[in-house]
Homo-oligomer: A and B are copies of this chain.
């Protein structure tokens, strides 16, 4: 599978993601490359991210504002997401644990899993307070 050996450009993206504390959007990656005088086109960043994703090296999720953020596959992080303000905070819990709970061939039916996302949507404590403030 040649596609699992990323080209230098994609290696660089992966490196940046691994160095980053949290998740990065394509635009942030693009900016960081520019800052490091390794400017590339935004389209190339998107292309590279898609290939990395398909190679099983990077995972992503869509924020409520439409942005997509990326992280290395090995970081198994999930999130609490506020439906009001859109903020997300880490959720120290993975529904699959380290074992592949229930992910057997019967369920997958030929589907080859690369990564998973688990998100709990609700109201963050801040937005609950605002809501109460409006009611009372």
Q: Which residues of A contact B (CB under 8 A)?
A: 1-3, 50, 53-54, 59, 62, 64, 66, 80, 82-84, 89, 91-93, 95-96, 101-103, 107-125, 128, 131, 135
Q: Which residues of B contact A107 (CB under 8 A)?
A: 91-93
The complex places the Cα of A113 from the Cα of B113 at a distance, in Å, of: 27
Pair B120/A103 contact, Cβ less than 8 Å? yes
Shortest Cβ distance from residue A105 to the other chain B in the assembled complex, whole angstroms:
12
Residues of B within 8 A of A121 (CB): 53, 59, 113-117
Contact pick for A80, options B84, B108, B122, B123, CB 8 Å: B108
17 extra interface residue pairs, beta carbon distance < 8 Å, beyond A62-B62, A112-B122, A113-B122? A1-B135, A50-B83, A54-B83, A54-B123, A62-B66, A82-B111, A89-B111, A95-B118, A111-B120, A111-B122, A112-B128, A113-B121, A114-B123, A115-B122, A116-B118, A116-B121, A117-B117
Q: How far, in whole Å, are A53 and B93 apart by their CA atoms in the complex? A: 24
Give the number of times this chain occurs in the complex, counting copies.
Answer: 2
Interface residues of chain A: helix, strand, loop or mixed (majority): mixed
Assembled-state Cα–Cα distance A7/B101 (Å) = 41
Q: Which of B54, B92, B108 contacts A84 (CB 8 A)?
A: B54
B83 touches A110 (CB 8 A): no
**Distance, CA A108 to CA B125, complexed state (A):** 10
